[in-house]
Amino acid sequence: MSIVLGIDLATAEVRVQAVDVESGQAVAERRAALPVREAGPGGERVQPAEHTTLARALIAAVAADLGARASQVRALSITGTSGTVVPADAAGRPVGDAVLYDDPRGADGLRRLAAVGWTRRPMGALARAAWMHVVAPAERYLFTPDIVAAALAGRLLLGHVARAQERRRPGHGALGRGRPRAARPAARADARAGPARHGDRRGRRPRPPRRARAGSSSSPA
C-alpha cells in the first residue's frame, strides 16, 4: 500500500491531501487560511510568505490523522497559484512578502516585453519580478512551490528542474547536454583520416611495398 501527498498553495489557503495510490481515494485532508493584504489603491495585493510554515503544520496534522499509515507515504507533489512571485535568498528562503499573480505592478515592463515581441511565458511573472528587483532587490524570485520544496528538501531544487527540462528538449541525448549526434559534422572524421586512395573506403594510406630480403629474389628463378 502506498500514499502520496498533494500540497496545494492556493491564493486564499494551503491544503494538504493524502491519497491512497491503489484506490485513488483521499484518506486525509487538512486546510489552513492564507491571508491576503491589499497593499495600495490600485489593486496591489501581497501575501505574507508563510507558505512553508503552514505546509509543514498541515503535513504534520495529516500524518497524525493517518496514524500507522503515515509510514506508507512514498511521494509528494506541490502546486501553487501561477504568477505569484516570492523574493528569496540564494537558498530559497523568503526575504519579503509574496506579490500575488493579479498585482498590477510590473505592468509597464509587461507592455515593453510585448512591444519587443517577447512571448516566452510566464511574461506576467517575469515583469513582476523585474519590478520587485528595482524596488527591493533580492537574490532570487521564486514561485511558492519552489519555496516550499526548498524548505522540505533542505536545498533549492531548481537545478534538478532545469536538467529535467533540458533532457526533454527535442534532439538531445539521455544526458540532455551537447548537440545530438546526428547534428555533429561528419567531416571531422574524414579530415583526420585523409583522402581515400586506391578505393580504400576507410581513407587509409596504402602501405609501401616490402623490400626483398638479402639473398632472396622477388622474381621466379
Higher-confidence residue of 37 and 78: namely: 78
Gap between the Cα atoms of 98 and 35, Å rounded: 11
Rounded mean pLDDT, 59-86: 96
Assign 98 a pLDDT band (cuts: 50, 70, 90).
very high
Assign 205 a pLDDT band (cuts: 50, 70, 90).
low
Assign 164 a pLDDT band (cuts: 50, 70, 90).
very low
Nine cell digits for residue 23: 484506490
Gap between the Cα atoms of 5 and 2, Å rounded: 10
> Mind giving me the DSSP string for 135-160?
HS--SEEEEHHHHHHHHHHTS--HHH
pTM above 0.75, yes or no: no
Rounded mean pLDDT, 92-118: 89
* pLDDT of res. 1: 84
* pLDDT of res. 124: 85
Domains in the chain with CATH codes = 3-102+136-176 (3.30.420.40)
Gap between the Cα atoms of 16 and 6, Å rounded: 6
Assign 29 a pLDDT band (cuts: 50, 70, 90).
very high
* pLDDT of res. 114: 83
* Of 108, 88, 109, 91, the residue nearest 99 (C-alpha): 88
Percent of the chain scoring above 90 in pLDDT: 53
Nine cell digits for residue 124: 506576467
* pLDDT of res. 207: 61
> Mind giving me the DSSP string for 73-119?
EEEEEEEE-TT-EEEE-TTS-B-SPEEPTT--TTHHHHHHHHHTT--
Span 145-154, pLDDT tens digits: 999 999 999 9
Taking 90 as the threshold, does the pLDDT of residue 111 lie above it?
no
> Mind giving me the DSSP string for 4-24?
EEEEEE-SSEEEEEEEETTT-
Q: Cβ contacts of residue 121 below 8 Å, gap of 6+?
A: none
